[in-house]
Structure 1
Amino acid sequence: MKLARRELLAGAAAGIAVPPPAFAAAADAPGRPDLFIGTGGTGHTFPGATMPFGMVQLSPDTGVERWENCSGYHQSDGSILGFSHTHLSGTGIGDMLDVLVVPATGPVVLDPGPWENPDAGYRQRYVGEVAEPGYYAVTLENGVRAELTATERTGIHRYRFPAGAGHLLIDLSHLIADQPQYPAFIDEARLTLEADGTLTGTRRMFRWAKGRRIFFAMQFSRTPERVQFYGDGDMPVEGRGVAGKRLKVALHFDEAGAAPIVVRCGISAVDAHGARANLRAEARHWSFDRYRRDAARAWDRELDVLRVEGGTADQRTIAVTALYHASLGPTLFSDVDGHTVGLDRKVHRLKPGERAYSAYSLWDTYRAFHPLQTLIGGERTRRMIDDLIRQTQQSPYGPPVWPLQGVETGCMIGWHAVPVLAEARAKGIPADYAAAWPGIARRSFDWTTPTLDNSLGIGAYDTLGYVPADRVNESVSRTLEYAYDDHAGAQIADAAGDAAGATRLRQRSGNWANVFDRRIGFARGRLADGRWAEPYDPVALGHSKRWHDFTESNGWQATFLNQHDVPGLIAAMGGDAAFEAKLDALFAAPSTLPADAPPDISGLVGQYAHGNEPSHHVAYLYAYCGAAWKTQGMVRRLLTEMYRAAPGGIIGNDDCGQMSAWFLLSALGFYPVDPVSAQYVLGSPLFARAELRLGNGRRLVVEAAGNAPDAPYVRGVSWRGERWTRGWIDHVTLMMGGTLRFEMAREPDRAFAAAPVDRPGQLTQGVRR
């Protein structure tokens, strides 16, 4: 999810757990992650300190003005504004950046200044960056050495000032810059110095998540000599607090360099009590190094689920960094006492053991990130499934779309919480799926349900069988993705015992065919009267300006946006040979795009776009028409060409770990074309050996005998020592644990998994093959 949506929006598994076994000595930990991968180019990641899936992401902010600053940080900026406590990873829309701390010397400067001219404000050039899981450090040009670490709900800072006076500026007005389509403002804020020396504050923000609120409680290891508040217009305010909209406070230390200043800050979206309680529960001492060690240990446990050998040193670094990026979110959104803000904007208290989460980038992450979590997440995955069910019950819009900090942004198209739930059910993850059905049914069948951008045209989709291109923008992509969500929704209807609802959704999941023109072999826009929209060019973005018929894609890419009925698409194209030829044409077409194409269409191989999610399953489609060897060759090419161990090494936005999860699963040798099917299509493993600790405590070993850069092809597979002829493997089988062994070769074995009985099986006219 990236710039296109930013510009277009109008507003608004299962198994008994066993003790984890020790890893075999032959498989090496893949090394330390490089947290600067993705901080350049358009990866939109951040290098700061956080815990796995933590509430706090304490990280440097280098800019707020450009699209490249969606995470608050970009490797090319060259100066740091300060260090704020909340960030998004890999998104194409910016928000968060709450509670900025600016360590400074000399006179107080209240304006940040433009990124082009650091000397015009409180920005600082910097050197000596260090970033590792749970820790970040940098030296600013004023001589301050800044270090950051975190607990789940608190940020911990340590500042070493040079000799002399210094101050900490807390800028509560800091936010991602205003944009025409996303006016950013704060309508209410407050700062207070409490009697015990705790600085508390709150603000209500309007940008992407409109009306979200943050509370914080901040304590200092040293008592400042003076505290100066600043109100709106940067006017000094006397007393122990200030209220308004754009607020700041400076805490002065006459001998700042005499000893390090440690800052600990708890946050909450619920209230000031929640922020104080989080701080009290998780930050009880002043030893920065202890917090750092605790964070490092947590990350060691998190990243120890993967061990690899073989490949290059860079590929091993990319792998563990991908696992790190796939462990940042969704982010914790419930306080230590269980209170959280629901999508109904009300405060709820969870039962013991439950957790709430924010920043579900579901249009992106249902494809690979959530399938990865079903393999390795264990109890946390079950908590997320429970959380999505609760959010479905709370939201007036039905299933979550892109929930952020208790606000439904409605970003992207469809309602892709449903495939995440349906996948979990298909994989045997226990949850009360029937409880989600009323919300899904409202979204699917009741046109009086409030509508955001994600569900425009659903009434016509139901009655006509497609979203009409002359009434609703992005009509082709909407039809295709609504059909996939119907396919998933039918599984939840089954869980609820609603046979009629399930039948209706299964029938409607075939609507993809109504925007596929068999005469030309492409998906295309269709008008309300049934005629095809003219003119048509599969490289173009629609029959009118501004990407009208497609979502971050064009006709080439949208034609293959059918994850649930690939056999039906093959038949519509004229059979196996025609389908294979069409895929060949996709990857061989000129990589040209219209001048107004969104930057999301990136990482091109022909017209395949790896830099954005609608293409992510496409290389695996060859397996469905008996040409698995072409899947193997193309997947290996994508693994080696689209990922680099460099700041610009992620093609496109990382999208809350989706781009990283694609790498991880593909490097292991399998990928979920249709997550709801609970099947993984076999590809081309990247490493000679990989070990994955599964969420139930068992161990999955993937061996690739004879693997080499020039040997991407599979000539045979075995599972637990037995020959495996299928071109796919199911989730339940993998969760048993064991060794999946590939025999690799330099020349393709065109017979491998070519027989129809060995190909991946999905849906044709609602019946599983």
Structure 2
Amino acid sequence: MVTRRQFLQGAASLALLGSRPGRSSAFAAAGRAAPATDAATAGGWTRHVDVFTGTGGHGHTYPGASLPFGMVQLSPDTHESGWDAASGYHQGDGSIMGFSHTHLSGTGIGDMLDVLLMPAQGPVLLQPGRRGLPDGNFHSKYDGVPNPRALLPDNHAQPGRGYRSRYDQASEQAQPGYYRVRLSDHDILAELTATLRAGLHRYTFARKGAGHLLLDLAHGYHTDPAQPAKITDAELRVVGDDTLVGGRRVHAWADGRHVYFALKLSRPFTRAELYSDDQPLHGAKQAKGAHLKAALHVADAGSAPLLVKVGLSAVDTDGALRNLDTEIPGWDFEQVRHAATASWERELGRIRVQDAPAPVLKTFYSALYHTLLAPTLFSDVDGRYRGMDQAVHQLPQGRHNYSTYSLWDTYRAQHPLLTLVQPERVPDLVDGLVRMAVESPDGPPVWPLQGIETGCMIGYHSAVVLAEAHAKGFKSIDYARAWPVFRKRAMDDDYRGLSYYRKLGYLPSDKEAEAVSKTLEYAYDDWAMAHLAEAVGAHDDAKTLRQRSRNYRHLFDAKSAFMRPRGSDGAWLQPFDPRGMGHSKQWRDFTESNAWQATFLNQHDLYEYIRLFGGDAAFVAKLDGLFEADPTLPADAPADIAGMVGQYAHGNEPSHHVAYLYAYAGAHHKTQARVRMLLEGMYAAAPDGIAGNEDCGQMSAWYVMSALGLYAVDPVSAHYVFGSPLLAHAEIDVGRGRVLTVRSRGNGPGRPYIQSVAWNGRPWTKSWIGHAELARGGTLEFVMGATPNQRFGTAPADRPPSFGSAAA
């Protein structure tokens, strides 16, 4: 299976965009209006969300309509191939192919873009044509930002030769759960909203005459612009004079996933024409093949808005129709839109921020919004779902199944955030991983997407999510059922170098690609597995796994104080450049990182690790060296290594805990300074306001947690290290009617340093706090200042626990 590393080797290596214009300046330059507001959103939390955050640069987000954790992500597609089309949309493109119903949020590989619809008038055009900017040209810069599209070979083609349309960017508006745009080539206003499992379109035709709705069931993401998406088992069936149902299997990143749909029009179509391989099937009411399309014709399209509702299912067309009829029984667009807004208000309102500047509010709530888009619902209203074995299963009453777990990324901050702000959803999210492990022929989930294991990225960090949930006391999760599958992976499977890891204590770089990163991540998975072993009473296994979690020591070179590639004979491999990707051109020694970043990939055993460096002072000096190093990267560095501060790379997840490591060496004031710098410098509510790929909420979750002053360096430990809270006042619903209030007095620009902390009115000298305390509710108060209080968190007893104990 393709890994993200392999995918990126074939993509253009693009530098991180340096500019981060403010929301107003960016949108003024683009000619785009501010997000729509009305009585439903005025005064609410959704008014602070800029859904276009991350749609430029390399954020890979989409701006369309979805509900929190919804199955449907109804959004415009501007392109369907290439790295920066991973979500189907990029604000640097100038035309829209149509509106499809599934999208990935911020991933480094693309897929989805299912069931594309496009309204039009005139002749039926079956090919999308090629993309361009609104003036018909392509620019090397757009909105003052380098346009990665200009690197693609077809960048001089103009839109208008197919069914895609240029669009009026001033008309492009969106808010959570709603999107609108005017398709200028056809003069059609398109509006989108959604429920959990269905999408609702409203098309207003400005011109008189007949119109049609094109459905392109062959449309989908593909890596190679010269090769269309691979589709099999596609089918279409016309039902009566207002309904079309169908489905397909898609062989892309998630190879062989199923998707079915049911589509209804608000008024009868005069004719339904089906196409196979772009040839009309005159009079046919159903079709099967690999390359199917349909045109649904309506008379006098401009006489009234045309509404289209589409339900999805991974089970069958009956499930799609049942989802549709249950969730959108009528045709009241505004009612569905307002229900979507209410859903977002409810979920965003679980964190209520007060007394924050407008730019901070926008950045915070745009980030919180993105943390709630995945994982995505993957079960029907009747409880059926398609499992990892491709069989159809039935859930118990009241349970839900989910998909889209970017676990290599999200175990670090997004899942810890959800344990605080979505506690009632955690059992379904985590027990779903248990079901996947049991049902899948591939074992524990790594990066599961719509019933398929993509195998993307390294480690098997579903173990971390399970261990964290258990450590935090979450019930209704079958840990015992999970254990045999996870134990087999840890103890027996010859999986991606694990046999070397068990035999040698490390992965040799002359035998296994990305061996250094894999060794370090397997060590952390061992730490999580040790916790799961204790949870099910496997105490001997727990002892073995705890000891094995210290295997990182075998790759630490005390002379250079770097993690280094080692051969199967035990020798350090040459040449070694801490900024380089590997010791040879054959493969890389690191996963989307280099030795500088990998050297700090220790989340669970910090005090033993600090001793390897020679003590606190040496460790702090090495951390300082990371942030102060020359930020230059070699030419073969993957584009994911981005958001550089020295050799610290905030745009990629292995660095996300690193600024918090100073706390373990008694230099917590340096954590405070670094975290505040990253909060203020790496995020903005703007299209290029995310330093790297959003990665299904992880980039944004780092901001949300850090703005609250908290971060889970080791999620399995069930505690949070303090950083530098950005917010003056936030109230967090932590479940069961309990509220956690976080305050920071004396805060503001240039005042990142903690002077003191109080918990429920009593002095708190520790630089960390446990999840159990926060989950009970209470008041956490920081006093901030312009100069560091170097006594705070310095005493060994006040430092965060690691490997089960505080500093010696």
Q: TM-score range by the shorter chain?
A: over 0.9
- Say which of 712, 717, 725 aligns to 1:677: 717
- Say which of 129, 147, 172 aligns to 2:191: 147
- Unaligned runs of at least 5 residues, structure 2: 11-42, 133-157
Equivalent residue number for residue 452 of structure 1: none
Equivalent residue number for residue 802 of structure 2: 762
SS at match of 2:74: strand
- Say which of 384, 391, 396 aligns to 2:429: 384
Equivalent residue number for residue 280 of structure 1: 325
Cα distance in 1, alignment partners of residues 226 and 218 from structure 2:
20
State the Cα deviation string for residues 642-671 of structure 1 (Å, max 9, x = none).
001210001100100000000000000010
- Say which of 594, 600, 611 aligns to 2:640: 600
Equivalent residue number for residue 614 of structure 2: 574
- Say which of 465, 475, 478 aligns to 2:515: 475
1:4 maps to a residue whose letter is R
State the Cα deviation string for residues 717-767 of structure 1 (Å, max 9, x = none).
000000000000000011111111111010111111101110011117x99
SS at match of 1:118: coil
Give 1:311 deviation, angstroms: 3.8
- Say which of 241, 249, 263 aligns to 1:218: 263
Cα distance in 1, alignment partners of residues 354 and 331 from structure 2:
40
| Mapping for residues 62-73 of structure 1, pairs under 5 Å | 62-73=78-89
Give 1:2 deviation, angstroms: 9.0
Give 1:545 deviation, angstroms: 2.3
- Say which of 562, 587, 592 aligns to 1:552: 592
Cα distance in 2, alignment partners of residues 695 and 319 from structure 1:
21
- Say which of 68, 90, 96 aligns to 2:106: 90
State the Cα deviation string for residues 614-646 of structure 1 (Å, max 9, x = none).
000000000000000000000000000000121
- Say which of 246, 249, 252 aligns to 2:294: 249
1:124 aligns with 2:170: no
SS at match of 1:120: coil
Cα distance in 2, alignment partners of residues 108 and 312 from structure 1:
50
Judged with a 3 Å threshold, the aligned counterparts in structure 2 of structure 1 residues 2 and 616 are, in CA distance, closer, same or farther, namely farther
Judged with a 3 Å threshold, the aligned counterparts in structure 2 of structure 1 residues 552 and 183 are, in CA distance, closer, same or farther, namely farther
- Say which of 293, 299, 317 aligns to 2:344: 299
Equivalent residue number for residue 61 of structure 1: 77
Equivalent residue number for residue 581 of structure 2: 541
1:161 maps to a residue whose letter is F
Judged with a 3 Å threshold, the aligned counterparts in structure 2 of structure 1 residues 8 and 661 are, in CA distance, closer, same or farther, namely same
Give 1:513 deviation, angstroms: 0.8
Give 1:6 deviation, angstroms: 2.5
SS at match of 1:379: coil
**Conserved in 1, the CA contact under 8 Å of 2:110 and 2:223?**
no
Q: Which stretch has the larger CA shift, 511-520 or 171-180? A: 171-180
Equivalent residue number for residue 410 of structure 1: 455
Give 1:710 deviation, angstroms: 0.6
Cα distance in 2, alignment partners of residues 671 and 90 from structure 1:
21
SS at match of 1:400: coil
Judged with a 3 Å threshold, the aligned counterparts in structure 2 of structure 1 residues 540 and 181 are, in CA distance, closer, same or farther, namely farther
**Conserved in 2, the CA contact under 8 Å of 1:29 and 1:306?**
no
| Mapping for residues 372-521 of structure 1, pairs under 5 Å | 372-430=417-475, 431-447=477-493, 455-521=495-561
Judged with a 3 Å threshold, the aligned counterparts in structure 2 of structure 1 residues 241 and 133 are, in CA distance, closer, same or farther, namely same
Judged with a 3 Å threshold, the aligned counterparts in structure 2 of structure 1 residues 191 and 47 are, in CA distance, closer, same or farther, namely same
Equivalent residue number for residue 4 of structure 1: 5
Give 1:544 deviation, angstroms: 1.3
1:400 maps to a residue whose letter is P
**Conserved in 2, the CA contact under 8 Å of 1:55 and 1:332?**
yes
Cα distance in 1, alignment partners of residues 636 and 274 from structure 2:
47
Cα distance in 2, alignment partners of residues 28 and 264 from structure 1:
27
**Conserved in 2, the CA contact under 8 Å of 1:229 and 1:249?**
yes
RMSD: 1.8
Give 1:693 deviation, angstroms: 1.4
Give 1:566 deviation, angstroms: 1.1
Cα distance in 1, alignment partners of residues 695 and 226 from structure 2:
20
Equivalent residue number for residue 709 of structure 1: 749
Cα distance in 2, alignment partners of residues 768 and 282 from structure 1:
54
1:138 aligns with 2:184: no
Judged with a 3 Å threshold, the aligned counterparts in structure 2 of structure 1 residues 556 and 78 are, in CA distance, closer, same or farther, namely same
2:195 maps to a residue whose letter is T
Equivalent residue number for residue 13 of structure 1: none
Judged with a 3 Å threshold, the aligned counterparts in structure 2 of structure 1 residues 464 and 237 are, in CA distance, closer, same or farther, namely farther
Equivalent residue number for residue 23 of structure 1: none
- Unaligned runs of at least 5 residues, structure 1: 10-26, 449-454
1:158 aligns with 2:202: yes
Cα distance in 2, alignment partners of residues 266 and 768 from structure 1:
55
1:42 aligns with 2:82: no
- Say which of 335, 340, 346 aligns to 2:391: 346
SS at match of 2:160: helix
Give 1:568 deviation, angstroms: 1.5
**Conserved in 1, the CA contact under 8 Å of 2:82 and 2:224?**
no
1:129 maps to a residue whose letter is E
Give 1:272 deviation, angstroms: 1.3
Scaled by the length of structure 1, the TM-score of the pair is 0.95
Cα distance in 1, alignment partners of residues 492 and 245 from structure 2:
44
Cα distance in 1, alignment partners of residues 223 and 741 from structure 2:
49
SS at match of 1:126: strand
Cα distance in 2, alignment partners of residues 182 and 490 from structure 1:
45
1:243 maps to a residue whose letter is K
1:130 maps to a residue whose letter is Q
SS at match of 2:735: coil
**Conserved in 1, the CA contact under 8 Å of 2:601 and 2:655?**
yes
Cα distance in 2, alignment partners of residues 287 and 54 from structure 1:
20
1:122 maps to a residue whose letter is Y
**Conserved in 1, the CA contact under 8 Å of 2:273 and 2:280?**
no
Cα distance in 2, alignment partners of residues 195 and 669 from structure 1:
58
Cα distance in 1, alignment partners of residues 283 and 431 from structure 2:
48
**Conserved in 2, the CA contact under 8 Å of 1:183 and 1:206?**
no
**Conserved in 1, the CA contact under 8 Å of 2:198 and 2:324?**
yes
Cα distance in 2, alignment partners of residues 187 and 193 from structure 1:
19
Give 1:114 deviation, angstroms: 1.5
Give 1:30 deviation, angstroms: 8.2
Equivalent residue number for residue 687 of structure 1: 727
Equivalent residue number for residue 179 of structure 1: 224
1:67 maps to a residue whose letter is W
1:201 maps to a residue whose letter is G
Cα distance in 2, alignment partners of residues 530 and 64 from structure 1:
46
- Say which of 594, 610, 634 aligns to 2:650: 610
Equivalent residue number for residue 644 of structure 1: 684
State the Cα deviation string for residues 667-706 of structure 1 (Å, max 9, x = none).
0001000000011000100011111111333111111110
SS at match of 1:694: strand
Q: Which stretch has the larger CA shift, 176-185 or 652-661? A: 176-185
Give 1:309 deviation, angstroms: 2.7
Give 1:101 deviation, angstroms: 0.4
Give 1:178 deviation, angstroms: 3.9
State the Cα deviation string for residues 227-253 of structure 1 (Å, max 9, x = none).
111111444443112211111110111
Scaled by the length of structure 2, the TM-score of the pair is 0.90
2:788 maps to a residue whose letter is P
